[in-house]
Amino acid sequence: MSGVALVAHHERGTARSHALFSAAWCSEHGHDFWMPTQDADALDLAEHRSRRPVAEADVVLSLGGDGTMLRSVGLLDGAATPLLGVNLGSLGYLTEVEPENLADALAKFFAGPETGEWSIDDRMMLDVSVNGVRAGRALNEAVVEKSESGHTIRLLARIDGEPFTHYAADGLIVATPTGSTAYSLSARGPIVSPRHRAVLLTPVSPHMLFDRSLVLDPSEIVEIEVSGHRRAALAIDGQPVTRLDDGDIVTCIPSDVTANFVRFGAYRYHQILKAKFGLADR
């Protein structure tokens, strides 16, 4: 028997009550329910703690905001398990339902996809390596950035093995379409529909005349080489991964796996974007 695995934001005041509600709903409807040990301990729900992989669930519930969704994707580690985001945050680009609609969402999900009540929104991810060794997988972005304040770093960008240019900047972002509304957007990168498959290369505070983002075909491999004596750092989806020295190379390629979000009804990304930015009709 499968069931529901729940990943929660540890600091959201209502996360515990929603987790208890989810557990009760699953018990009432004959579904297993469990939480990763870290989440269960943080919310004082030891009775639901389990080392069982979340990928074994029929659906993973993510209670929180986009950060919790990113962590849930990381815990799935490429598994095709559907992920349902419950918005306890403010932005919620990735989440799908509000807490008051959780019971209805679970009932629709377990009724099956053949009802037409829900579908899967699959999102492109990036496989990231350092000097040929796997470093992680990004749903939003991989960032090579300076590790010391007050100094730019020098980075050589290669596309499909050919040198493009040296950047003098605070960093370089390699983002997916999903990540186009995250860090890349803050660095004045373009907004790209998540239905599109592309790789974005966006400089962070470049100290040079060329400051434009590149929108690349997903088949194009991006390499970033640290050039010079100033150390850099690699972060994936906002989480620090490793320090980088002169000559270290970060490679980003489209992953063979996707993140699979549950969507109810038509997913209108542009309307969500409009609402999040408070854009008026006229």
**Burial track 66-104 (b if 16+ CB lie within 10 A, e otherwise):** bbbbbbbbbbbebbebbbbbbbbbeebbbbbbebeebbe
Rama region for 148: left / alpha / beta (φ>0; ψ in -120 to 50; rest): beta
Copy the structure tokens of residue 140.
């939003």
Q: How does pLDDT run along the chain (282 residues), one tens digit per residue?
A: 579 999 999 887 899 999 999 999 999 999 999 999 999 999 999 999 999 999 999 999 999 999 999 999 999 999 999 999 999 977 678 999 999 999 999 999 999 989 989 999 999 999 999 999 999 999 999 999 999 888 899 999 999 999 999 999 999 999 999 999 999 999 999 999 998 999 999 999 999 989 999 999 999 999 999 998 899 999 999 999 999 999 999 999 999 999 999 999 776 777 777 877 778 776
Q: Are 243 and 147 in contact (CB under 8 A)?
A: yes
Of the residues 32, 39, 41, 66, only one is catalytic, namely: 66
d(CA 32, CA 5): 8
CB of 111 closer than 8 Å to CB of 117: yes
Residue 281 designated active-site: no
Question: Residue 134 corresponds to which tokens in the numbers above?
Answer: 């796997």
pLDDT score recorded for residue 103:
96
pLDDT digits (tens, 9 = 90+) for 3-43: 999 999 988 789 999 999 999 999 999 999 999 999 999 99
* The pLDDT of residue 228: 85
* Model pLDDT, residue 91: 62
Spatial contact of 258 and 125, defined as CB atoms under 8 Å apart: yes
Question: 3-class secondary structure for 66-117?
Answer: HHHHHHHHHHHCCCCCCEEEEECCCCCCCCCECHHHHHHHHHHHHCCHHHCC
What are the DSSP calls for 20-36, one per residue?
Answer: HHHHHHHHHTT-EEEEE
Burial (CB < 10 A; 0-12, 13-18, 19+), residue 265, is exposed
